[in-house]
A and B are shown apart, each in its own frame.
Chain A
Amino acid sequence: MMKKILAMLLAVLMTVGVLAGCGGADVSGKKENDGASVIKVGTSGPLTGDNAVYGVAVKNGLELAFEEINALGDLQFEVKAEDDEADSEKAVNAYNTLMDWGMQIMAGPTTSGSAAATAQKCAADKVFMLTPSASDPAVIAAGDNVFQICFTDLNQGKASAQYIKDHNLATKIGIIYDSSSPYSAGIYNTFKAEAAALGLEIAIEAPFTEGTKGDLTTQVTMCQQANCDLVFLPIYTSEAVKVLSVANSNGYAPKYFGCDGLDGILSVENFDTSLAEGVMLLTPFDATATDEKTQSFVTKYTEKYGTAPNQFAADAYDVAYAIYEACKAGGVTADMSAEEVNAIMVEQITKMSFDGLTGQAMQWGADGAVSKDPMAVVIENGIYVGMD
């Protein structure tokens, strides 16, 4: 009997103890956040899985930038990154979790599919959204308060065609692209349309898919047989490396032109970088640039995270500063609701001109797209050299 009473008593105490434990953790968490003195910025991206390299880069870029901004001492920000596994369903979950946390500004998501889903939520809830890297035009089409800091795929394809035409780089163009990738197919579409408008001749189109990307010999041979003097590669580095190797062993040496997906080709493991000599690419960011801003960013980033930043990190870094400048100009304070912040941010961002790592004098239209000059680089002696 005695034992039973004791057990009951202890069970009650146990419950109280567990509850108290939880309560304690909450309180200590709140003390740090809830001074209503920080502006809460959320982001989501693939922090685990195949595409984690992009999501983590964005997270790191944002954290680094907001640390610097907080050190300036006027406006204080807190940034929180949630994992969305590059999946639109998980992105909505991540967004809801961030809203529960009290997010006032959305600085994400990283990937296009996720961003298109989150953008609809942001538009419906009136939360300001500025994505660093989701380049699909469908993202900004979701609402008036959704903005991009990267080029849309639309612009990349268009700018590439324009650049090739202006610099008379090609008479016959071959395109090798990934028809199962939104990024690659998106650029291909607009490139093709713009090339037709400009009178560029596309001799051959050689698509591959997620399933067939293991061997790209056929695609390269198609371009070779069609006598293309320029091969357009709107793809990512892992496949581009294969194209370059196959072409080299076939004794085929056309000019190559790529988009920002090729950024990072020089750091691919087990790749003979001499094959990449003469490859041209459009990229908003060049980690070897010598200007002071880029150098300071690259040094700090490498020191903190142990790897050199890629373009995603640079885009995210710019997003943080753009948010900071818009908040400062519009007088955003930490106690405002997300909706109030949204109204100010939309007004400020459409009238500001922002200088960042990935472009000078960036301006945003009401449609949410950024206008900045595309920067073309060519690989010479293992480094990027700017083209004009």
Chain B
Amino acid sequence: MIFLIWLLYIPALYLVYGLRLALAGMGIYLHTFPTMLLHGAVFVGVYYLIKYLKKLLKVKPRIPANAGKRDKTISVYGLVTVGFTAMTALQGYGMLSRSMQGYLVPICAYVVLALSLNLVVGISGELSLGHAGFMGVGAFAGIVAATCAQNAVSDPFLRLVIGMVAGGLMAGVAGLIVGIPVLRLRGDYLAIVTLAFGEILRSLTENLYVGLDRAGLHMSMSNGGVQLQEGGKMIISGALGATGIKPISTFVAGILLVFFTVAVVLNLVHSREGRAIKAVRDNRIAAESVGINATTFKLKAFVISAVLAGMAGALFGLNLGSVQASKFSYTTSIDILVYVVLGGMGNMLGSIISTVVLYLIPEFLRSLADYRMIMYAIVLIVVMLCTWSPKIKNTISLFTYTMRTYWNRLFRKKGGSGK
């Protein structure tokens, strides 16, 4: 039996390799005897692996229903720490390619965006399609603040922090203004209105002109409305966006922001407010009947999410030499939403992992040239189907549960979890 499949496997390999090589334009790949043997071994290995997995899948994972939230919190912090340490170590040894180093800061920004959106979508239970709008507000506010502070503050890290704080505040204000009318709506209506507000925020920044000269900051909503003295400089020029920014974002700053976000989000979720927010999500009427003000709690989650998105936007904007408002359109909102949905609603660990993976997939698929975005879509569909399959879900939770138990045995000696 095995031998038969092995025979079929070789022509199949030719097909696969032939296709791959045609894509890369490298000519014909010739199999020699040793490589044939190796591929045979690969096949048999895969065969047994599948058999083993099948056996594994038959086992029903037995996970206690209340597998402790403390463990989950630890794994979120742990993952970020491990990621940071690994990347820094690799960078230190010069083993990280330029492109990988380039991905670090945007990934941090997107992780923060996904976590903050998860607060609204997963915890608060409202579908928001305008998250990129807050990111944009934060980005431009951060750029303006960092540029204004250029003369007063020489330390780039401090300037980045000023930018992030300013970005967070502005996005928070925008979140409050948007949130008050929006959160009176429910369900589909709310989703559509957030989409509209996201687009409003984008087109406002698209028509915003900001310049800086010795007299101070000038702002206008019309082209030519900003008249600068000699030596003055335009910071944002409408649809042309902000150009000539000195990139000051660093990976360390990005990771610190991720830690800050994780701390804010997890503490909120586990607090009294968090439980109230979740209660409103699960049953609004029941929650209101015990005296919870549904709109207020939803608004809290929404504004906090906007502040975090604004900070991420500032980190993102100050990482690039040029930023245009068109970046913050609904397509970016949808991208972030995909990270959240794929990672699991309300699952912070999942959000982080899915963001990193989904950000890197299109970059790693660059060698496929024209087929890149098609492949990305296919991968998305496959991942969606897989993570929805109960069998695979069980396997993943069994795996994480086992790992957690080992971790507990190693470091806490008491074994088990949540007891």
Contacts and interface: CB of A to CB of B under 8 A. Distances in A.
Interface of A: 6-7, 10-11, 13-14, 16-18, 20-21, 24-25, 28-29, 32, 47-49, 82-83, 87-89, 92-93, 95-97, 99-100, 112-114, 116-121, 136, 138, 141-142, 179-182, 185-186, 188-189, 192, 209, 211
Contact of B373 (A18, A48, A100, A209): A48
Q: Nearest 5 A-B pairs (CB), nearest first?
A: A120-B321, A14-B45, A116-B322, A138-B243, A13-B41
B333 to A, nearest CB: 15
Contact of A189 (B29, B101, B223): B223
A89 B320 contact: yes
Given A89-B320, A136-B243, A14 B327 contact: no
A186 B239 CA distance: 9
A180 B382 CA distance: 37
Nearest to B41: A13
B238 A185 contact: yes
B223 A185 contact: yes
B366 interface: yes
B38 to A, nearest CB: 4
Interface stretch (B46-54, B167-175, B339-347): B46-54
A185 B208 CA distance: 13
Contacts of A17: 38-39, 41-42, 45
B244 interface: yes
B247 A120 contact: yes
B223 A117 contact: no
B203 interface: yes
Nearest to A111: B324
Nearest to A185: B239
Contacts of B97: 96, 100
B66 interface: no
6 contacts: A20-B38, A88-B327, A89-B316, A96-B102, A100-B98, A180-B206
A89 B132 CA distance: 14
Interface in B234-277: 238-241, 243-244, 247
B324 A113 contact: yes
Nearest to A178: B239
Interface residues of B, number: 47
Nearest to A115: B322
Contacts of A117: 320-322
Interface in B347-394: 363, 366, 369-370, 372-373
B35 interface: yes
A375 to B, nearest CB: 26
B370 A97 contact: no
A49 B316 CA distance: 22
Contact of A119 (B101, B238, B247, B321): B321
B193 interface: no
A18 B203 contact: no
Given A17-B39, A100-B97, A185-B239, A179 B223 contact: yes
B44 interface: yes
Interface of B: 24, 26, 29, 35, 38-39, 41-42, 44-46, 48-49, 52, 97-99, 101-103, 106, 203, 206-207, 223-224, 238-241, 243-244, 247, 316, 320-324, 326-327, 363, 366, 369-370, 372-373
Contacts of A83: 366, 369, 372
Overall SS of chain B's interface: helix
B45 A11 contact: yes
Most A Cβ at <10 Å: residue of B29, B102, B373:
B102
A7 B99 contact: no
A100 B247 CA distance: 20
Nearest to A87: B327
B313 to A, nearest CB: 12
A99 B223 contact: no
Contact of A179 (B44, B239, B372): B239
Contact of B48 (A11, A120, A141): A11
Given A48-B372, A97-B366, A100-B98, A186 B240 contact: yes
B321 A116 contact: yes
A14 B43 CA distance: 8
Contacts of B207: 179-180
A55 to B, nearest CB: 11
A178 to B, nearest CB: 8
Given A83-B372, A138-B244, A181-B239, A14 B102 contact: no
Contacts of A181: 239
Given A10-B45, A28-B26, A89 B239 contact: no
B363 A97 contact: yes
B370 A142 contact: no
Contact of B203 (A29, A119, A180, A185): A180
Given A47-B369, A142-B321, 8 more contacts: A10-B48, A14-B45, A88-B322, A93-B363, A116-B243, A117-B320, A120-B322, A182-B239
Nearest to B329: A210
B240 A13 contact: no
A136 to B, nearest CB: 6
A89 B373 CA distance: 16
Contacts of B247: 120
Contacts of B323: 88
Contacts of B324: 88, 113, 182
A141 to B, nearest CB: 6
Contacts of B363: 93, 97
Contact of A89 (B45, B106, B241, B243): B106
Nearest to A29: B26
Nearest to B316: A89
B321 A185 contact: no
A113 B321 contact: no
A25 B239 CA distance: 44
Contacts of B206: 180, 209
A344 to B, nearest CB: 23
B99 A97 contact: yes
Contacts of A16: 38
A16 B40 CA distance: 12
